[in-house]
Structure 1
Amino acid sequence: MTAFYHVCFAVPDLERAMRDFENATGVEWHEPQAGELGDWRYRIVFTKGGAPFVELIEGPPGSPWDATAGARFDHLGYWTTDLRAGAQRLEEHGIPEDFSGCPHGRAFAYHRMDSIGARIELVEASRQPAFLETWHPTGAPMPAIDESQ
């Protein structure tokens, strides 16, 4: 059982990235959604078809998804049963927190894993129903890392 559910690329041009990815791999996309976190407005989209999903996110300069220097592999996303315990576990393994959505009312956190040049995103499993409703309405719940063990 794995809690891995998506891979994300931060991109400067969402439509171009969607088109190129679709032409190269044949994936299908949902309609992009606009969002806001703190002072940042961003756009996000996920592939259709279920996990593992591909996520593309276009964020403004200075945001956690700033791609003004060019598109990049940004993170691997995992569900967790306990965000605080998961964050502590990663910290204990030398994978420091890079950004937390918690102060903005969002139960997720990015942790920098320098050995892969990208981040690990932990997302509280309580957010899964809203994710499924938006991006995979016919999908069954996905497993989460059980941080109680």
Structure 2
Amino acid sequence: MALYHVGFAVSDLPAAMRELRAAAGVEWAEPRPGRIGDWDFRIVFSRPGPPFVELVEGGPGSPWDASAGPRFHHLGYWTDDIGAGVRRLEKQGFPAEFSGCPFGRPYAYHHLKSIGANIELVDAVLQPDFLAAWQPGGEPMDALHERALEEQ
């Protein structure tokens, strides 16, 4: 596993981007909309990376619901085998809080009570497309996910 980003659930994506830019000089790619299951969200990654900072603004009930306030949500890791990684974390007592796998998106969040946040495992097959999508001239995340589905 290789750490590549730190994710935050936020209720106001533009405000979070402005504050991190002002406080820490973080530069951002263009935010992009997305949808998984019944939830719409907006997402953005810092640039350059890795490591990346990810901000996700999700609606009520979504995995990124920040209606109770913004929060540290996850540490994101690439994994060469999403299934084996999920089984390993569950066996170690870290239950899956949410999985994108049933939606054709090979990632899963596993909750760690001690830090009050998740470990996100993302299948490394997505790494080249992720980097292309979040660097200048990249493609929208929806196209990235569609291509991942086609490759499975």
Q: TM-score, normalised by structure 2?
A: 0.87
Rate the CA distance shift 1:3–1:137 in 2: closer, same or farther, 3 A: farther
Aligned counterpart, 2:13: 14
**C-alpha separation in 2, matches of 1:4 and 1:67:** 24
Contact 2:29 2:135 in 1 (8 A): no
Give 2:53's aligned amino acid. V
* 1:136 to partner: Cα distance: 3.1
Aligned counterpart, 1:90: 89
* 2:109 alignment partner, SS class: strand
**C-alpha separation in 2, matches of 1:87 and 1:68:** 28
**C-alpha separation in 2, matches of 1:44 and 1:13:** 11
Give 2:35's aligned amino acid. E
Give 2:116's aligned amino acid. G
Contact 1:50 1:136 in 2 (8 A): no
* 1:39 to partner: Cα distance: 1.1
Tell me, yes or no, if structure 1 residue 45 matches structure 2 residue 44. Answer: yes
Runs of 4+ residues deviating >4 angstroms: none
Aligned counterpart, 1:143: none
Q: Give the number of equivalent residue pairs.
A: 137
Q: List alignment gaps of at least 5 residues for structure 2.
A: 138-152
Give 2:122's aligned amino acid. V
Higher normalized contact order (CA 8 Å, seq sep 6+, divided by chain length): 1
Deviations for 1:49-94, whole angstroms, at most 9, x for unmatched residues? 1111000000000000000000000000000000010011111111
The percentage of aligned residue pairs carrying the same residue is 62
* 1:137 to partner: Cα distance: 5.8
Aligned counterpart, 1:102: 101
Q: List alignment gaps of at least 5 residues for structure 1.
A: 139-149
**C-alpha separation in 2, matches of 1:114 and 1:136:** 33
Give 1:131's aligned amino acid. F
Aligned counterpart, 1:131: 130
